[in-house]
Structure 1
Amino acid sequence: MTSSKPVAGAPTTLLIERGVDRLHVQLNRPDVRNAIDQTMIDELHAVCDELERHPLMLILSGSNGVFASGADIAQLRERRSADALKGINSGLFSRIARLPMPVIAALDGWALGGGAELAYAADFRIASTTVRLGNPETALGILPAAGALWRLQQLVGEPVAKQIILAGRVLGAEEALAVHLVTEIHEPADLLAAAHALADRIGAQDPLATRLAKEVFHAPAEAHPIVDNAAQAILFESPAKFARMDAFLARKKRPRVAAPS
């Protein structure tokens, strides 16, 4: 992978590492706990541009022990009704959710407000033992309009989602694991290695099958089973299908070597 240090012309709020099958994007505004401002939004849109043209897995993480403390309150304070109708954060997070290949959010420390909503848009969420997940927007006189009001209910169910959104409940690592908001917990020092290990498991699958499976998974209910069959028809003609199944059958035919007595 290439160095994650910023270079001339590089994003100013992100550190980016490019691998063969993945892109690791680190939110990097440590002076404000990686608060999501307009520049970060614009730079994440540029990441989406790249991944829509050249599909790779995406790993999202934070810096200095924090994923993202939320939207930049100084900027949010100045937004008015016209800004709300633009869907500044919601448009980006929906775009991230629609990326062709899976998205992994590695959550460390604070993942609040817009930071939590960014995590909800990922396909996988893994966490460190220090994670704190929640949506405190109503305490600031607004609501979580960038996905929490519908994604969170899908992820954890209505009762827990209402506790988080309406009563300001913040989940620690074990609580988030218990409600399946995250699927793994690791020590902070091991979190990124775990994210890459998960990406390795995904990367061992056929990329086209993975892309189509994600697309069909998120298709509306009324589209099934037609969209499933259409995707399968593509894969049934895929060279990778024949190569992978031939390899599987060849392994099955290998004679078993008797264990020494």
Structure 2
Amino acid sequence: MPETPPQPDDLPPDAAPATGPYETLAVEERQDRVVVTLRRPEARNAISGRMVAELHEVCGLLEREPRPLLLTGHGGVFAGGADIGELLRRGREEALQGINSRLFERVRRLPMPTVAAVEGWALGGGAELAYACDIRIAGPGAVFGNPEPGLGILAAAGACWRLAELVGESVAKQVLLAGRTLDAGAALACGLVIDVVPGDRLLEEAHALIDRMTRSSALALRLTKLVLDAPGAHPVADDLAQAVLFEGPDKKDRMTRFLNKRGSTT
């Protein structure tokens, strides 16, 4: 882990759509998942404009072919900050484009579960990207934080409301107002991460988590996430999603296998 934390990130507003090979990501497509590694070692995996465009490409892929996403960082860092010189050049019009926030919300709304495997720094926009994932698992050196007010800006890509939903208002205010960082133990204690595992097993454990998910019905997972993310109480949404599942062959096959297995052991 670096001795001093990177600064919060920001993204240039004029990034061209990503085409051709990825420059800032390593993308591994598997039949049952997509693994994305943020890879800008020269900048602690800072989320550049090019990376935003490439992450949008990945989102498009996962919207067309829904699969779980495993998101991690290269070189023992999840994602740090961008060039402060870039931040200095940003103005009102760039802020109103919501470059980070629109990408992170798209990540949050992906149809299948998303898992962030976090080791090292996850600060500023890097933290907000991790917050946008459904589940986070951490290595022992993970550190989450939002130091944006120290640079005269705010965490405007979801942290100001998403973090409170994840860890509660009190802890969110400690991070966003008092500049507290959450190390791996604190993140586990407040429920921000599902587990803290040895660094050399982080990806293995993250894949095991997705393995458990993929043993479930893909349609059931997708509809559960859709209902879970719906705002407010949603009994009608529950009923409609369940009606779709009740009519599907997957439910009949799985329940029949369960009953047959139970019958064979009695």
Q: Report the TM-score, using the length of structure 1 for normalisation.
A: 0.93
Name the counterpart of 2:45.
34
1:140–1:20 CA distance, 2 compared to 1 (3 A): same
SS in 2 for 1:184: coil
CA distance in 2 between counterparts of 1:68 and 1:200 reads 25
| Contact 1:71/1:113, CA 8 A, preserved across alignment | no
Distance 1:79 1:52 in 2: 31
Query: What do residues 34-89 of structure 1 show as CA deviations (whole Å, max 9, x unaligned)?
Result: 00110000000000010000001000000010000134433222111001111000
> Residues 104 and 123 of structure 1 are in contact (CA less than 8 Å); yes or no, is this contact kept in structure 2?
yes
Distance 2:106 2:137 in 1: 20
Q: 1:124 to 1:255 in 2, by over 3 A?
A: closer
Match of 2:243 in 1: 233
The whole-number CA distance in structure 2 between the counterparts of 1:73 and 1:235 is 50
* Partner residue, 1:254: 264
- What is the deviation of 1:198? 0.3
Residue 131 of structure 1, CA deviation: 0.5
Q: Which of structures 1 and 2 has the bigger CA Rg?
A: 1
Identity percentage over the alignment? Answer: 54
Tell me the distance in 2 between the aligned counterparts of 1:32 and 1:72: 8
SS in 2 for 1:185: coil
Please say if residues 37 and 75 of structure 1, whose CA atoms lie closer than 8 Å, have aligned partners that are also in contact. no
CA contact (8 A) 1:93 1:121 kept: yes
Moved over 6 A (4+): none
Q: 2:28 aligns with which of 9, 17, 21?
A: 17
Alignment of structure 1 residues 156-195 onto 2, 5 Å: 156-195=167-206
Q: Which amino acid aligns with 2:49?
A: Q
Residues 185-204 of structure 1, C-alpha deviation per residue, up to 9 Å, x if partnerless?
A: 01111100011000000100
Note if contact 1:25-1:60 (Cα within 8 Å) is conserved in structure 2: yes
Name the structure, 1 or 2, with higher relative contact order (CA <8 Å, separation 6+). 2
Change (3 A) 1:90 1:72: farther
Equivalenced residue count is 248
Following superposition of structure 1 onto structure 2, how do residues 71-110 of structure 1 map, counting pairs within 5 Å? 71-110=82-121
Q: Which amino acid is the alignment partner of residue 201 of structure 2?
A: D
**RMSD between aligned alpha carbons?**
1.1
Give the whole-Å Cα distance in 2 for the aligned partners of 1:72 and 1:248.
55
**Structure-2 separation of matches of 1:17 and 1:35:** 20
When normalised by structure 2's length, the TM-score is 0.91
* 1:107-186 alignment runs, 5 A limit: 107-186=118-197
Distance in 1 between the 2:28 and 2:55 partners?
Answer: 14
Which runs of no fewer than 5 residues in structure 2 stay unpaired? 1-18
Q: Which runs of 5+ in 1 are unaligned?
A: 1-7, 257-261
Cα distance in structure 1, aligned partners of 2:88 and 2:210? 37
Aligned-partner Cα distance in 1 for 2:21–2:42: 19
How many Å separate the matches in 2 of 1:73 and 1:92? 21
1:132 to 1:255, Cα distance in 2 relative to 1, 3 A: closer
String of CA shifts for 1:169-193, please: whole Å, max 9, x gaps. Answer: 0111101100011111011111000
User: Corresponding residue for 1:215?
Assistant: 226
Tell me, in whole angstroms, the C-alpha distance in 2 between the residues paired with 1:255 and 1:83. 64
